[in-house]
Amino acid sequence: IVADDDKSANDASTIDDRISSYTASLTSSVVDYPEEYGRTYHAFRAGSYNFPNDEREMDRLDLTHTMIVKTIGNKFFLAPIKAEVTHRILDVGTGTGIWAIEIADLFPNAEIFGNDLSPIQPAWVPPNVKFEIDDVESAWVVSNKYDFIFTRYMAASIADWPKLVNRVYENLAPKGWAEFQDMSVLYACDDGTLTEEHAIMNWDRLFIEACKKLGREDSPGPKLEGWVRQAPFKNVVHQHFKIPLGPWAKDAHNKDLGWCNLAQTLEGLDAFTLKLFIGVLGWTREEVVVLLAQVRQELKSGAFHAYLNYHVVYGQKIEDEEGKATEN
């Protein structure tokens, strides 16, 4: 490294001002969100995540959090972790930070970390919660391992899932737990009311096509268990849930879930579609508007009984005294 001949670079009298200017420029590079299609997107590692980070999307993410908590039995997670031995928790892809904030009361003596590409989390949070700007697909720099790592709702966002699951395993403390929650984005139906001719199925196929062109896994949910077992986690449990799309179910619980899913889907259609269909598939804005109008009309009509398949997989890191994974 060659030293700068400019003596002013070492002027101690102005160092504070220059540090302030430098950190301000770094902050600006993270929060100066580019605007496309009338929505804002993350600036850090721009392009690695293809959905908005604006106020509308933040509200939808919080609604989706509520839906998922209801889906799995009004619980934040299913792994059998115990507060007395859980000292460090990581929420991978924390989004608005709502999960990390809400579990802070359950683990008052634990440090809870959340990372994301966008600094959209609130400034006022419980004292044991900390948010970091990071790309989970880049190398992890962790000084202390975690007792619980939680990853949820990352469909269409991750290029290399096995690598991510392995990183989670590597950064767990011995006997620590990890939980992965995700879905298949392809809508399902048990009674034949949803057909391939419906606009939403056309949209679904195109969404999957765009994800594949980007090299992003559109439906990680059904594959989670395989990746987790290969990592190699032990004591692996896989639970499957159905989330109705719309209030068509007879029982109160699923009807409530259906309303919640319908609301977040209608709100999220623009977010899910604009950048992928226009930027990746080459559609015009007008073509997208026409398709989404058809999808919205179908969703509001209640003409079919569709649902999403949601998967929860958790496992534990068990090693022998030499730090090697034990055999099944």
pLDDT in tens, 232-283: 999 999 999 999 999 999 999 999 999 999 999 999 999 999 999 999 999 9
The label of the residue with tokens 């799309």 reads 245
Per-residue pLDDT tens digits for 190-236 = 999 999 999 999 999 999 999 999 999 999 999 999 999 999 999 99
- What gap in Å lies between CA 79 and CA 104, rounded to an integer? 16
33 close to 47: Cβ distance less than 8 angstroms: no
| The pLDDT of residue 230 | 98
| The pLDDT of residue 23 | 42
Under CATH, what is the fold of the domain 29-316? Rossmann fold (3.40.50)
Question: At 113, is the secondary structure helix, strand, or coil?
Answer: strand
| The pLDDT of residue 118 | 83
Question: At 205, is the secondary structure helix, strand, or coil?
Answer: helix
Report domain extents, the chain.
29-316
| Phi (first) and psi of residue 206, to 5 degrees | -70, -40
- What gap in Å lies between CA 320 and CA 307, rounded to an integer? 42
Q: What is the Rg, in whole angstroms, of the alpha carbon atoms belonging to the chain?
A: 22
| The pLDDT of residue 11 | 60
210 close to 316: Cβ distance less than 8 angstroms: no
Closest by alpha carbon to 230, among 173, 157, 180? 180
- What gap in Å lies between CA 231 and CA 163, rounded to an integer? 9
Q: Which residues of the chain have pLDDT under 50?
A: 18-29, 44, 328
60 close to 271: Cβ distance less than 8 angstroms: yes
Count of CB atoms within 10 A of residue 13's CB? Answer: 7
- What gap in Å lies between CA 241 and CA 171, rounded to an integer? 28
- pTM score, whole prediction: 0.88
131 close to 97: Cβ distance less than 8 angstroms: yes
Beta bridge partners of 39: 36
